């Protein structure tokens, strides 16, 4: 297995693509305002009705935090504008489709299987393996980025959806700009993605925290009831079910750890799969990935900022999950401990299916096994993490934040 050690987190040595991107961004002016984003979305779609206007407060807060951050590079500002415009365009397309096809709102989303757990705790591998069972309706990344086709864009000559092509182009560009990303978190277009991406058209999720230094947005997000935004996400799932129906939805996101109430209000008959791992392993992986990704979006990478922010952020996720643990339905909740899952993936899959009341058919076994053979852990290389060298802290110092969680769940200590 190829071992990868990132030597330049604090003082990045940029490649030609990264330098060119930064220089290009500095040559452009990007207007990070709600008016500019909405104007571009209208021009892109030919639509004008954004629906309820409360989203402008949330979008405005996100844009303002990026706009006033002197550390954000020109290319970082351009990426923020592009993402915001895509989400605003999605909002226009979603609203237009629902006005033309109100029957979509009658489509049931029944008994979804939802994987919930810390970032970097095996949720991605598990949900992609389960999604190999073609009875499940899952959410590939290309579809999550553009859930409703743009008008006047039929499939290409080869039958490929142009949204897939755009997703693949984004992935190729991402690999050129951040070549080690695929070893930490694959983002190819067919990769099963988090359904909270669908909330971005309503401009309320914790996704911005992964690509930006956004503590003000975090505070606003955590101070507001997210139930309406989970309802919005469900509506988009209904749209996707209308386009391509399947037997049951398979979903996943670490964000749900702190939103168990809104999650179960939205999906009261869900089966919940909760993954558990040494939080220090989750922290060191998260901060290494985030700090590595900051080399083009920010003028300095500030490893200590990511250390402090994500130690606290993951602590908040776990604190909320402990607070709301009693809300999880006992007969429809299965706990998956990381080291046990890695030791026996087949046994974990069996438990998930049993809890969900699904028959693990021979065909499903073959589909899942085929995925697992093609996607072994560390396929793109194994990143070597070093909290002491890269982040000036020790595993014990980080672990102190998670004592309540570690007292409750018997996870194996991975980072010494």
What confidence tens digit (pLDDT) does each residue in 55-72 have? 999 999 999 999 999 999
- Please state the domain count of the chain: 1
**Tokens 């996101």 appear where?**
253
pLDDT at 267 (0 to 100): 98
CATH number at residue 201: 3.40.50.300
381 CB burial (10 A radius; 0-12, 13-18, 19+) = middle
With respect to residue 415, please indicate whether it lies within any of the assigned structural domains.
no
Tell me: the pLDDT tens digits for 115-152? 999 987 888 889 999 999 999 999 999 999 999 998 88
With respect to residue 333, please indicate whether it lies within any of the assigned structural domains.
yes
Closest CA to 35 of 81, 66, 79: 81
With respect to residue 414, please indicate whether it lies within any of the assigned structural domains.
no
Size (the chain), residues: 416
With respect to residue 413, please indicate whether it lies within any of the assigned structural domains.
no
With respect to residue 24, please indicate whether it lies within any of the assigned structural domains.
yes
Tell me: the pLDDT tens digits for 214-272? 999 999 999 999 999 999 999 999 999 999 999 899 999 999 999 999 999 999 999 99
Range of the domain at 300: 3-408
Closest CA to 201 of 241, 174, 234, 179: 234
pTM: 0.95
CA of residue 114 relative to chain centroid, distance: 14
Residue 94: which residues within 8 A CB-CB, separation 6 or more? 147, 148, 201, 235, 236, 239
With respect to residue 12, please indicate whether it lies within any of the assigned structural domains.
yes
With respect to residue 318, please indicate whether it lies within any of the assigned structural domains.
yes
With respect to residue 353, please indicate whether it lies within any of the assigned structural domains.
yes
385 with 5: CB under 8 angstroms? no
């Amino acid at each position: 297995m190829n071992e990868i050690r990132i030597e330049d987190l604090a003082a990045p040595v940029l490649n030609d693509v990264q330098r060119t991107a930064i220089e290009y961004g500095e040559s452009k002016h990007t207007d990070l305002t709600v008016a500019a984003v909405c104007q571009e979305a209208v021009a892109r779609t030919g639509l004008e009705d954004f629906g309820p206007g409360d989203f402008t407060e949330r979008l405005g807060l996100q844009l303002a935090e990026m706009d006033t951050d002197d550390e954000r590079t020109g290319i970082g500002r351009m990426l923020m504008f592009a993402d915001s415009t895509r989400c605003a365009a999605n909002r226009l397309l979603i609203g237009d489709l629902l006005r033309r096809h109100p029957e979509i709102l009658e489509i049931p989303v029944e008994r979804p299987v939802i994987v919930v757990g810390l970032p970097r705790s095996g949720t991605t591998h598990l949900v992609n393996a389960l999604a190999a069972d073609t009875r499940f309706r899952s959410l590939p990344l290309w579809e999550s980025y553009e859930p409703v086709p743009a008008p006047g864009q039929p499939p290409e000559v080869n039958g490929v959806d142009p949204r897939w092509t755009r997703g693949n182009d984004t992935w190729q560009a991402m690999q050129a700009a951040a070549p080690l990303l695929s070893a930490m978190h694959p983002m190819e277009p067919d990769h099963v993605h988090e359904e909270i991406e669908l909330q971005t058209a309503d401009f309320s999720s914790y996704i911005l925290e992964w690509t930006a230094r956004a503590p003000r947005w975090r505070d606003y997000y955590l101070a507001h009831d997210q139930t309406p935004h989970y309802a919005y996400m469900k509506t988009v799932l209904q749209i996707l079910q209308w386009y391509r129906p399947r037997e049951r939805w398979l979903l996943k996101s670490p964000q749900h750890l702190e939103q168990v109430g809104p999650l179960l209000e939205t999906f009261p008959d869900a089966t919940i799969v909760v993954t558990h791992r040494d939080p220090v392993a989750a922290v060191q992986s998260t901060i290494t990935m985030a700090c590595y990704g900051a080399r083009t979006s920010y003028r300095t990478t500030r490893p200590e900022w990511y250390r402090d922010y994500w130690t606290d952020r993951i602590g908040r996720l776990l604190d909320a999950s402990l607070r709301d643990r009693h809300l999880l339905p006992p007969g429809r909740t299965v706990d998956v401990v990381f080291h046990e899952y890695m030791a026996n993936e087949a046994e974990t899959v069996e438990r998930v299916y049993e809890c969900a009341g699904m028959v693990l058919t021979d065909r499903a076994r073959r589909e899942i096994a085929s995925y697992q053979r093609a996607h072994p852990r560390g396929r793109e290389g194994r990143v070597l993490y070093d909290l002491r060298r890269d982040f000036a802290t020790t595993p014990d110092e980080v672990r102190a934040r998670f004592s309540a969680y570690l007292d409750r769940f018997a996870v194996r200590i991975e980072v010494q």
